[in-house]
Chains A and B, each alone.
Chain A
């Protein structure tokens, strides 16, 4: 079971980036996928989650209206489109899989990627 993130980099304020998370080793469509970020020297911040089945998406207030989750089940990949980037979006972004299957996971995230770094700076 593995998650591999990509797409991070340096972007100017107001710009856009798209992060990808490629999954393998499990039935991708059965599990919700989430993004969690960690600013330099700070704690974990949950960003967004998308269910595997009905496609319900939920976002933290800090990114609502700017970030969009999507998934391509044919490629076992989830995407985080980040628009209107701000300096405070600078962080390591982790992709993670829900432990429990279904559209409303409650048991946390049991598989994590290695993280991809996003730096927003002029």
Chain B
């Protein structure tokens, strides 16, 4: 199975900060990488698909980049509603896997 490793596991940031979350795959997944946001008690919400495509309705302050094994989710200016947990997911292999999550907390 392809292992997905996110870093950091958690971070503290202030409103207006630029935030970056990294996801590394155990082998090349080309650009088959998706990002989700999850708030407590809620289902995940798709933010980015195919490494850098913004899902419909998602604010443009969210962006994704990367290919091969290394990927990044960036929030350009953190908003109060962005405090949540973020997950990457690979859909390259037939056995999909998620990263362990990155919790973004208020500083």
Contacts and interface: CB of A to CB of B under 8 A. Distances in A.
A112 B32 CA distance: 20
B36 interface: yes
Contacts of B32: 106
B43 A108 contact: no
Contacts of B34: 107-109
A107 B44 contact: no
Nearest to A3: B43
A114 B44 CA distance: 10
A58 B91 CA distance: 12
B55 interface: yes
Contacts, number: 65
A110 B46 contact: yes
Nearest to B100: A43
A105 B95 contact: no
B38 to A, nearest CB: 7
Interface stretch (A8-16, A44-52, A66-74): A44-52
A46 B95 CA distance: 8
Interface residues of B, number: 26
A49 B91 CA distance: 11
Interface residues of A, number: 24
B46 A99 contact: yes
A56 to B, nearest CB: 8
B103 to A, nearest CB: 10
Contacts of B95: 46, 58-61
Contacts of B53: 107
B1 to A, nearest CB: 7
A110 B50 CA distance: 13
Contacts of A34: 96
Interface of B: 1, 32, 34, 36, 38, 43-46, 49-50, 53, 55, 85, 87, 89, 91-92, 94-101
9 contacts: A36-B44, A43-B101, A58-B94, A61-B95, A106-B49, A107-B49, A107-B91, A108-B36, A108-B46
Interface of A: 34, 36, 43-46, 49, 58-61, 94, 96, 99, 105-110, 112-115
